[in-house]
């Protein structure tokens, strides 16, 4: 990865916000054929981790503070542009995100079920039963603070 940038909503430029919304729509709405309201009011209080290569946004994750979705901080809207998948960019994104927090931080996410094994590589463990979120099978996953990379 060329560069990782973490910004709060009010630090994003209009162009960065546009790129974030565009890439999220490309992947979650168009590619996954899943019409849902992406603008859920959580972006304004979240941090946005952006991965650039050659000046182009190719990876992204939204980090939501504790007590907004879950009692813990949460990772969401995790994505890698299709032509960069299976090249290690997703692993770089997860490692970068995890290193932003103290080793004892508990992190929760709602993961697409087909990525469960991928997230297990980062010590996220499934909790509870699978469920549908916007018509796509998901499972809650938690990374306990004592799990290290």
Structural domains of the chain, with CATH: 3-143 (3.40.630.30)
The reported pTM is: 0.91
Q: How far is CA 19 from the centre of its chain?
A: 15
The β-bridge relationship of strands 3-8 and 47-53 is antiparallel
Task: State the average pLDDT for the chain.
Answer: 91
Pair of tokens at residue 119: 């997230």
Closest CA to 35 of 138, 131, 136: 136
pLDDT tens for 58-80 read: 999 999 999 999 999 999 999 99
């Amino acid at each position: 990865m060329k560069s990782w940038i973490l910004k709060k909503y009010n630090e994003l430029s209009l162009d960065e916000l546009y790129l974030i919304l565009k890439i999220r729509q490309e992947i979650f709405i168009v590619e996954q054929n899943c019409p849902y309201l992406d603008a859920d009011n959580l972006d304004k209080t979240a941090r946005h981790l952006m991965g650039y290569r050659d000046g182009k946004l190719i990876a992204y994750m939204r980090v939501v503070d504790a007590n907004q979705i879950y009692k813990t901080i949460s990772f969401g809207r995790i994505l890698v542009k299709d032509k960069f998948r299976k090249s290690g960019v997703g692993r770089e994104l997860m490692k970068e995100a995890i290193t932003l927090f103290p080793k004892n931080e508990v992190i929760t996410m709602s993961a697409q079920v087909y990525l469960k094994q991928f997230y297990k590589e980062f010590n996220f463990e499934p909790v509870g039963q699978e469920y549908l979120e916007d018509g796509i099978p998901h499972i809650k996953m938690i990374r306990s603070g004592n799990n290290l990379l």
